[in-house]
Chains A and B, each alone.
Chain A
């Protein structure tokens, strides 16, 4: 066997170089995740110095089986999946379309690339503020537009289903730039001579896309689908800044935040329930794990089939 760093103790140099990164990962990511799974079996409040008791599976039982609240939790779980489905599919399609269009040699493509990507660099609070103003029901741009047709809406403060749909729109707007950039980088790795060969063989634009672009974009497709699915399953910030805690709109991520950190409405006093929120987090983690691994399995098989 060849050791690039020599023999003896020198063999361990690569591991030593890796050590800071591993320690960083353990401290920042893995240990808190493990601690969360342990907290989920306790009545932890998240307060330093507060007493903590072992509850076994009580938090899980409460979340999944206790009264109407557990049905509301399962509704939130379902809403999370609906959110994930719409965000993933629409964001994926729009990102791909934008990338294909902006990959052409057209004037102003850099301007449009920047415009489409710009929302990504804004934080959730700024994104929320922009859309709250856009959807302001008393004379905001969207209200004025609807007014032209004699219609009106409360938008984010109205029907829960409508408010929920607007969060989907904002989530897509906020993240489509990333999807587009990943597709663009994928498109730019496809050799132009393949398109020339296809053209010589008489392929139409659509045939060139389906037989050249789409198969060779497989790594980008996989990356985007994975990121979109995981990102949308974990989303909560936009729900917080756009809607707040409202019946019929919560997704699991926001439910966890509101429960764990005692988020209240006005001065209503609530309790800090990080143990219970940790149990909900583990359920969300398992959901992401199952969906993520299934998607990964399917995508890898597809990649192996297409690219060999």
Chain B
């Protein structure tokens, strides 16, 4: 029986392969980038338009399924908000699931396809194909819209509570609004322990050399310089995006330069970056950081075990929660030897809300977002998570808000939000500090620089 099954399967697969060889020529991979395919995008299924939020209360018992990513202060806020919301709307029960940020897109895909979710936390729209990019796939949010899985929120009154630029940049596609984005975050800064700096007579660094000196001072005092939540992967190198930003302040131009060949990862400037990244990974990061979970890192920093913590502004509330009396500051990563180059904060549009187009609980979902978007609720949310608000009436009155306020004029969208790898590029075609020992295998900046550039070029050549 097994033999018959296996033979039948083999025959079918073989037949499929033969037939495919005779099939139509590949259309999609050679087509223009998705973002520039206006006519095709226009053909996308019409997203279900949301009902007017204020029309009628949900009379029957409804369970609203909400999906969010793991961020302890945000999850705590949402639990409190859900409780308040269900008290106000006794016919609605909120069933909220929490997943790791790395798994958010996977779970969103499967639950949207299974029609098993109503309201989803989705990061701001980014990584769209640019005209200079060739043969790249549409980002997942665009795929979801083109599949008709996200609801058009354009006419919802609560959309007007958010600033128009945010709605346009982080939540719109082809002139329609699909996401209300809840805040900007910076990920290119470093938290520092104010008392520890004072006790060791260390100046808050504004240049790379000062940062190196600070770490050496702490090391001599047997204090680990930096920590990160390396177990989740990305936090170990997220601080290094500040290093990247200090050397390449125009991040959109950097991505374009890499695609067009005007910038390479192994030129003199890049070698300087790699050399600094090696120092960051080898000498600054504490041993064992790769085992710390992302949401445990703020607690480790607050415990006073380390002097600094490179990471995003979203960690601010978690640090406060871990130890309310702890005194900390937040500075842009001083990646350059010139202080003037280190005045930028790089970041992204973080969490936002989208609604499943096929949600059977549209009225409840609209009520939920209307309630959430009410200025007082939104302000409480922004205070809880430390986001830079996207509602113009909201105030930046958190601890982290006070720290980033001086740099807000220099806030820029970061590299990772623009970069789309060419198909065929190798796995090292992205500048991560974690390629260096002890987290990776490389211990020579030039060797790694050549490998990264070769991996990128391989993809660029393949899509020519």
Contact = CB atoms under 8 A, between A and B. Distances in A.
B38 to A, nearest CB: 15
A272 B439 CA distance: 28
A132 B292 CA distance: 10
Given A266-B238, A273-B137, A157 B439 contact: yes
A68 B454 contact: yes
Nearest to A286: B13
B80 interface: no
B109 A135 contact: no
Interface stretch (A84-92, A137-145, A184-192): A137-145
B147 A289 contact: no
Interface in B10-59: 10, 12-13, 16-17, 20-21, 23-29, 43-45
A67 B425 contact: yes
B217 interface: no
A256 to B, nearest CB: 13
B146 to A, nearest CB: 6
A252 B345 CA distance: 38
A223 interface: no
Interface in A236-281: 244-248, 261-273
A117 B10 CA distance: 36
A262 B102 contact: no
Contacts of B439: 154, 157-158
Contacts of B16: 37-38, 40-41
Interface stretch (A49-57, A94-102, A167-175, A195-203): A49-57
B24, B238, B288, B416: most-surrounded residue (chain A CB, <10 A): B288
Contacts of B454: 68
B147 A160 contact: no
Interface string B207-234: 0000000000000000000000011111
Contacts of A55: 26-29
B140 A271 contact: yes
Contacts of B27: 53-55
Interface in B64-123: 101-106, 109-110, 112-113, 123
Contacts of A160: 440-441
Interface residue tally on A, bucketed by range = 35 or more
A45 interface: yes
Contacts of B233: 244-246, 265-266
B139 A270 contact: yes
Given A265-B102, A267-B101, A272 B291 contact: no
Given A69-B426, A247-B435, A282-B13, A47 B102 contact: no
A67 B428 CA distance: 13
A250 to B, nearest CB: 8
Contacts of A157: 230-231, 236, 289-291, 439
A43 B127 CA distance: 19
A246 B455 CA distance: 16
B459 interface: yes
A136 interface: yes
Contact of A69 (B10, B12, B416, B458): B458
Contacts of B462: 66-67, 69
Contacts of B441: 159-161, 248
A27 B416 CA distance: 41
A132 B126 CA distance: 33
Interface of B: 5-6, 9-10, 12-13, 16-17, 20-21, 23-29, 43-45, 101-106, 109-110, 112-113, 123, 126-127, 137-141, 143-144, 146-149, 230-236, 238, 287-292, 348, 350, 416, 422-429, 435, 437-441, 454-455, 458-459, 461-462
9 closest pairs, A vs B, by CB? A157-B290, A67-B424, A68-B426, A137-B288, A50-B147, A68-B458, A67-B462, A266-B234, A271-B137
21 contacts: A37-B12, A41-B20, A46-B113, A49-B45, A55-B29, A56-B20, A62-B29, A67-B458, A68-B424, A132-B231, A152-B288, A159-B437, A159-B438, A160-B441, A247-B435, A261-B110, A262-B105, A262-B106, A265-B234, A269-B127, A271-B139
Interface of A: 30, 33-34, 37-38, 40-41, 43, 45-51, 53-58, 60, 62, 66-72, 132, 135-138, 140, 143, 152, 154-161, 244-248, 261-273, 282, 285-286, 289, 293
